[in-house]
Each structure stands twice: as C-alpha cells, then as structure tokens.
Amino acid sequence: MNELLITLALVLVKLLLIFGVVLSLAAYLVLAERRILARMQLRLGPNRVGFFGLLQPLADVIKLLTKEDTVPDRADRFLFLVAPGLAAVTALLAFAVVPFAPPLEIFGRQLPMVVCDLNIGILYFLGLSSLAVYGVALGGWASNSKYALLGAIRGLAQLISYELSMGLSVVPVILSARSFSLTDIVVAQDPLPFAIVHPVAFLIFLISVTAESKRVPFDIPEAENELVAGFHTEYSGMRFGLFFVGEYINMIILGSMVTVLFLGGWHGPFLPPVVWFTGKVLAVSFVFIWVRGTLPRLRYDQLMHFGWKVLIPLALVNVLATGAILLWLKGS
Amino acid sequence: MNLWRDIRGTVHPFWVTLRNMLRTPVTIEYPEERRTVSPRCRARIVLTRDPQGEERCVACYLCSAACPVDCISMQAAERADGRRYAAWFRINFSRCIFCGLCAEACPTLAIQMSGDYEMGSRDLLKLVAEKEDLLIDGGGRDNEYDFYRHAGIGVGQVRGAGDEENPPADFRSNLP
Ligand code: SF4
Ligand code: SF4
C-alpha cells in the first residue's frame, strides 16, 4: 500500500515537472522561433515586452485569453470546441514515454526518468502521432469553411503519407536496438548514436518529422497565401492558441524523438544527462527553425511525389539493406 | 548534373540564412533611435516666409488645384499695397497623401514639405492645420528666394527694379 502511494506520488511529480517544463519550453520556443527567424531576415524580432522580450509569451497568452472566442455559424459546435484540445493533448501525451535521463537511484529505489517506460514506446508514439491527425481533420471539418476543410484534407493526406516513411525509417533503429522501448534504444546507442550508424534512416526520419509537425517546407495544411490559415482559419482566442501551443509541443516531442532515436538520447560526456538531452532537443528545434527560415513551401503535388516516390521507397530499401547487413554480421 | 545542382540548391540557402543570422539587424528601434530623414523627405507641410519675413503665399490656389485629394482650402485677400495673401489657409492632414504635388505647383516656393514625420493622432480634428500651424519663420529649403524680386508688378519693388527685369521703356522715345 505504502509502496503504491510512493510510486503514485513519484509519477505525479514527474508528470507535473514534465508538464511545466514542456509547456514553458513550448512558450519560449515560440519566442525563440520569432527571434531567430527575425535575425535570419536581418530584423530584431519581438524585444519590447520585458528584458530582451522575455515576457512576450506571457503577453501573447494574455492577449489570446482576452480575445473573443467565436464559433462560426452552422459549425459543428461540439467537434469545433474539442478539436484544438485534441491537437494539444495528443502532443502532450506522447511525452509519457520519452526517457530524458538514465534511471536514478534514490533511497535504494530505482527511479526511471520517464513517466512510463512502455516496452512498446515507439508504437505508442506512432499511434499518438496518428491520433494527432484528428485535431487537424476534425477542426477543419467542423469549422464549416472551405479554407479550413481544404486545409484539413491536405493535412490528412500529408500526415498519413509521411507517417509511413516515418514508421519505416524507425525500423532500422529497432532492428539494431532489438527493442521497442525507448529506454533500451537509448542504452543501445552508447558508443555511437544511430544517426551515424543509420544516416539514411536519420535523414528520412528528420524529413518526415518536419512534415509531421506541419512546418515549413511542409506547411501545406495551413499554407497562408492559399488557405488563409488552413484548418485553424476559423479559430480565435485561446482555441487558436491551443492549436498553436500544440504545434510547438509537437515540435518538442518530435525533437525529443529525434534525440532519443538517433542522437543518442542523454548520452554525452562531462555534462549531466538531462542537460545533454535538453541541449539535443533544443538543437533539433533550432534545425526546425532554421529550415523554416530557409526553404520555401513545397507545392502539394511535389509533397505527395516526394513522400510516395522518394521517401517511402528509400525507407523500404533502407530497411532491407539494414536487415541484410545485420543478418550478415550475425552470420559471420 | 541536375541532381547535383538540386542538392546544392537545397543546401546552399542554409548557409545563407546562417550567415545572415550572425549579421547585425538593419532594424532601427524607433522611439529610441531615429534615422535622419533624406533632404527630399515629404512629410508635414509648411508655409514659408520670404527674406523680408513676409508670407510668401499669394493665394493663387495652384496648390489647391493640384492636390489630388482636395485637402487644401483657402480664401484669397489683398492688402492695401496690392500684395495678395491668404486670409485663411487650411490643410487637412488626415486626407493628405504627402504626394508633394502642392509643393511642386507652388510658384512662390511658399508651400513646402518638411521632414517632420511624427504627426500621428487619434483625433482627426487635430490633424486639420490652420495657417498659424503651418506658417514657419524661415524660408524652408531656400532662404534667399523672393518671388517678388522676379515677378509681381510693382508690389515688392518699384516697376523695373526686380532681378531679370529691365527698367520700363519710355515708349514715346521709341516713336519714329
Ligand atoms: S502633399 Fe499632395 S495630398 Fe498633400 S496637400 Fe499637397 S498636393 Fe495635397
Ligand atoms: S501656397 Fe503657393 S500655390 Fe498655394 S496658394 Fe499660396 S502661393 Fe499659390
């Protein structure tokens, strides 16, 4: 009984910690993105609110909260109201399986630094990222607007296509780690991160992840100059904010997936594991922002071509090759 | 080869953005920093005076006619010595588009564009400028120019005493 209570308390503490850290990280990622993009365009970016603009996220939240929350006429009210939460919650939930440090030894009790070390962590993550499609699809459909609907349709097609290549590019990692658990995968990368062992899979995963987070150059579901704002055209106030926050939480979770699967998770010399983990996640986030500042948006047909004719075949060949090499290594 | 070109074309922009990120931004942080406006800046309109300190405007209505948005209005009047002036002169800055056509049309260099661009207001009526608001003390861009030294019949000076003007000929002496 006592044992159960302690475990429960620890899980709660970890949950709250992750909740707080991820949410504030997401808020500051927005600021960082705005500042970095601005610098890439020789601008300064938001620097008025607080020292160096550090209170800008707070100001944004206050602004969003005080805006009117409109529901369009003849929208599907229930779905319309639920969709943004769906987008944010699925992104947050995925964090449950991300290990951010090796298990800690406190008072003789093994404390895994992950909310829930599922032995099928990767499948859980892939499943949740498929669920995230519902936020986009339902939000777009329920708004009763052409732009939102078009954005949602595009989003659906894009997310489904790129999920394939994402799932396929993870297979080599699972093959070499011989486990679906993210903790085991990180442990398996002790000498060499999988980004070096499986460079092709790494590249495919990075590209699919960018597409998965609906960011430039794959921001077709919200292509501003064609679809106003795509699936969240009709949203206002904090509901729009939820989509927005969900997107950035998604960016963090996908960044940590890249870190865990390919960049060696918490491994690194000198610094404590958590610092290495956070640093790598931030580095991946910077790459996302960098890509956004650099590349133009793909056209819709180009996106589909690239996904189905380049990425997926490449990922399949990669899986075959990795399997063959592993078999050969084992045989010799 | 095409593939090589495409790969280069994808990778090179990353270097460009990274390099630009490390350069100093060109932004001017407005309330703290101000740029010096160019000498030909077209902002708040002023009415200037000639070297004698008299109003240059002769109320010829040319600026008012040239104005594409019709925001200049005035009432002409004449002094006892024959010099024309505007009894009142009004520019509605909430309509002015700062095109500068009025300054171009003015034959006396009276109406000029100045570099004072900080004239925003939430109250439209505050943007209606009367003659007192428009008149400045100096000559604006050209302090020397005096319209009546070049033209103006017997108003600024006696007949024939202006620059580029010959003394009046006695037509009787020209008779055959
Ligand atoms: S600047 Fe143009 S719009 Fe303004 S008063 Fe002169 S002519 Fe009219
Ligand atoms: S400002 Fe110039 S153009 Fe306008 S009425 Fe006076 S003299 Fe004529």
A26-44 per-position pLDDT tens digit: 888 888 888 888 888 888 8
**Do A90 and A132 meet the contact criterion of CB atoms below 8 Å apart?**
yes
**B57, B91, B97: residue to mutate for ligand 1 pocket, most atoms within 8 A of CB:** B97
Cα(B37) to ligand 1 centroid in Å equals 19
- If one counts every other C-beta atom within 10 angstroms of the C-beta of residue A122, the result is 24
Asked if residue A224 has pLDDT above 80, the reply is no
Question: Residue A332 falls within a domain, yes or no?
Answer: no
Helix ranges (DSSP H) in A41-180: 56-66, 77-93, 121-142, 146-177
How many structural domains is chain A composed of? Answer: 1
Sign, Cα dihedral of A192, A196, A200, A201 = positive
How far is residue A240's CA from residue A238's CA, in Å, rounded to a whole number? 5
> DSSP per residue over A215-244, as a string?
-TTS-GGG-HHHHTTGGGTT--HHHHHHHH
Q: What is the pLDDT of residue A108?
A: 63
In 3-state terms, what secondary structure has residue A327?
helix
Q: Is B110 in the pocket of ligand 2 (CB under 6 A)?
A: yes
Smallest Cα distance from A43 to chain B, Å: 5
Asked if residue B101 has pLDDT above 90, the reply is yes
Asked if residue B8 has pLDDT above 80, the reply is yes
Asked if residue A300 has pLDDT above 80, the reply is yes
Whose tokens are 């932004």? That residue is B27
Q: For residue B97, name the pLDDT band (cuts at 50, 70, 90).
A: very high
Q: Is B69 in the pocket of ligand 1 (CB under 6 A)?
A: yes
Asked if residue B144 has pLDDT above 80, the reply is yes
Q: Which atom of ligand 2 is nearest to the CA of B105?
A: 3
Which chain B residue shows the shortest CA-CA distance from A43?
B25
Retrieve residue A104's tokens: 């800690």
Asked if residue A48 has pLDDT above 90, the reply is no
Tell me the sheet residues that pair with B84.
B78
Task: Tell me how far CA of residue A201 lies from CA of A115, A258, B46, B140, in angstroms.
Answer: 27, 11, 69, 70
Q: What is the pLDDT of residue B66?
A: 92
Best residue in A33, A34, A35, A44 for a mutation probing chain B (most B CBs within 10 Å)? A44
Question: Residue A284 falls within a domain, yes or no?
Answer: yes
Instruction: Return the minimum-mean-pLDDT range out of A174-183, A239-248, B40-49, B158-167.
Output: B158-167
Question: Residue A74 falls within a domain, yes or no?
Answer: yes
Q: What is the pLDDT of residue B88?
A: 92
Closest partner residue to A42 (CB to CB) among B10, B18, B25 is B25
Report percent pLDDT > 70 for chain A: 96
How far is residue A61's CA from residue A47's CA, in Å, rounded to a whole number? 16
Question: Residue A287 falls within a domain, yes or no?
Answer: yes
Question: Residue A264 falls within a domain, yes or no?
Answer: yes
Mean pLDDT, residues B17-33 taken together: 86
Please tell me which of A65-74, A100-109, B117-126, B160-169 the model is most confident about, judged by mean pLDDT: B117-126
Q: Which domain holds residue A104?
A: 24-41+50-324
Question: Residue A199 falls within a domain, yes or no?
Answer: yes
Asked if residue B81 has pLDDT above 70, the reply is yes
How far is residue B8's CA from residue B4's CA, in Å, rounded to a whole number? 6
Q: For residue B91, name the pLDDT band (cuts at 50, 70, 90).
A: very high
Asked if residue A305 has pLDDT above 90, the reply is no
**B69, B94, B128: residue to mutate for ligand 1 pocket, most atoms within 8 A of CB:** B69
Q: For residue A146, name the pLDDT band (cuts at 50, 70, 90).
A: confident
| H or E stretch at A102 | strand A101-106
Report percent pLDDT > 90 for chain B: 26
To 5 degrees, how large is the angle CA A288–CA A294–CA A298? Answer: 90
- If one counts every other C-beta atom within 10 angstroms of the C-beta of residue A118, the result is 17
pLDDT in tens, B36-50: 888 888 988 999 998
Mean pLDDT, residues A164-169 taken together: 88
Asked if residue B116 has pLDDT above 90, the reply is no
Asked if residue A114 has pLDDT above 80, the reply is no
How far is residue A288's CA from residue A292's CA, in Å, rounded to a whole number? 6
- Rounded to two decimals, the ipTM of the complex is 0.72
> Shortest CA distance to A184 belongs to which of A197, A195, A169, A173?
A173
B15-39: b (≥16 Cβ within 10 Å) or e? eebeeebeeeeeeeeeeeeeeeeee
Interchain proximity B26–A43, CB inside 8 Å: yes
**Do A171 and A316 meet the contact criterion of CB atoms below 8 Å apart?**
no
Tell me the sheet residues that pair with B89.
B74
The pTM (predicted TM-score) of the whole model is 0.75
Sign, Cα dihedral of A325, A329, A330, A332 = positive
Mean pLDDT, residues A217-237 taken together: 78
Q: What is the pLDDT of residue A144?
A: 82
Sheet holding B128-129, edge to edge: B72-78, B84-92, B128-129
Cα(B45) to ligand 1 centroid in Å equals 8
Residue A14 or B126, more confident: B126
**Do A247 and A214 meet the contact criterion of CB atoms below 8 Å apart?**
yes
Q: What is the pLDDT of residue B152?
A: 63
pLDDT in tens, B53-75: 888 888 999 999 999 999 999 99
Asked if residue A107 has pLDDT above 80, the reply is no
Task: Tell me how far CA of residue B44 lies from CA of A284, B91, B119, in angstroms.
Answer: 50, 10, 8
Closest-CA residue, ligand 1 atom 5, reads: B96
Q: What is the pLDDT of residue A297?
A: 84
Q: What is the pLDDT of residue B153?
A: 67
Q: What is the pLDDT of residue B102?
A: 92
**What residues contact residue A259 under an 8 Å CB cut-off, 6+ apart?**
A265, A277, A280, A281, A284
Q: What is the pLDDT of residue A230?
A: 74
Q: What is the pLDDT of residue B69?
A: 93
Question: Residue A167 falls within a domain, yes or no?
Answer: yes
Q: What is the pLDDT of residue A109?
A: 67
Closest partner residue to B21 (CB to CB) among A40, A44, A291 is A40
pLDDT in tens, A189-216: 877 787 778 888 888 888 888 888 888 7
> Shortest CA distance to A69 belongs to which of A214, A235, A203?
A235
Question: Residue A19 falls within a domain, yes or no?
Answer: no
Q: For residue A219, name the pLDDT band (cuts at 50, 70, 90).
A: confident
Asked if residue A1 has pLDDT above 70, the reply is no
Retrieve residue A274's tokens: 């958590």
